[in-house]
Amino acid sequence: MDHKPGNRDIVVIGGSAGAFDPLRAIFARLPADLPAAIFVVLHIGESNKHLPGVLADGPIPVQWAKDKARFKRGCAYVAAPDHHLLLVRDHMRLTRSPRENRSRPAIDVLLRSAAVNNGTRVIGVLLSGYQNDGSADLIAIKERGGTAIVQDPSSAAVPDIPSCALQATTVDHVASPAEIALLITDLAHRPAAPIESPAKT
């Protein structure tokens, strides 16, 4: 028998240079009753300290992620400065384990933990930024039945991250920030693919 995990209710978003404005555009267009929780990691150094306040202009409540706290649909969580953000089923973990891609928090840590622990429920989004951060673990999201979205490189101030993701895997959607908001809203109302039970021997 298959187990139905519910909707695609976990949205993980990563970016770095040039991702601030696209992220604000996405949050401004999300509905207040979005049936999903959103998690954000940006590789932007000290600017991260202001991220919850910047995103609070939109209809979705935004707060710092807290270690061992359960997350709720209709809320957004930002990785705390100098801490990786991981998702473990229905709650968050913060750690100070080694940097990845020279960053802590790191995009890859968030995407990888979401993929491993939440599979088909995950919508992964990569925005503007340098190098190939997030590409490997966007692949992990796809391999576990999740949905992959990247910002259209032509709309990105720094197209490296979305361009590398497009080279690394077959993504589900390439879109502008405004279109990404509409995609997240639509996908969050769709059921995730069922998780197959291990075959009996």
DSSP 24-85: HHHHHTS-TT-SSEEEEEE--GGGGGGHHHHHTTSSS-EEE--TTPBP-TT-EEEPPTT-EE
User: Which of 43, 103, 113, 135 is an active site residue?
Assistant: 43
Q: Residues with Cβ < 8 Å from 199, sequence gap 6 or more? A: none
Check: CB of residue 141 under 8 Å from CB of residue 111: yes
Q: Is 176 a catalytic residue?
A: no
User: Which of 83, 84, 108, 133 is an active site residue?
Assistant: 133
What letter represents residue 67's amino acid? D
User: Which of 9, 16, 108, 113 is an active site residue?
Assistant: 16
Q: Is 133 a catalytic residue?
A: yes
Q: Is 43 a catalytic residue?
A: yes
Active-site positions read 16, 43, 133
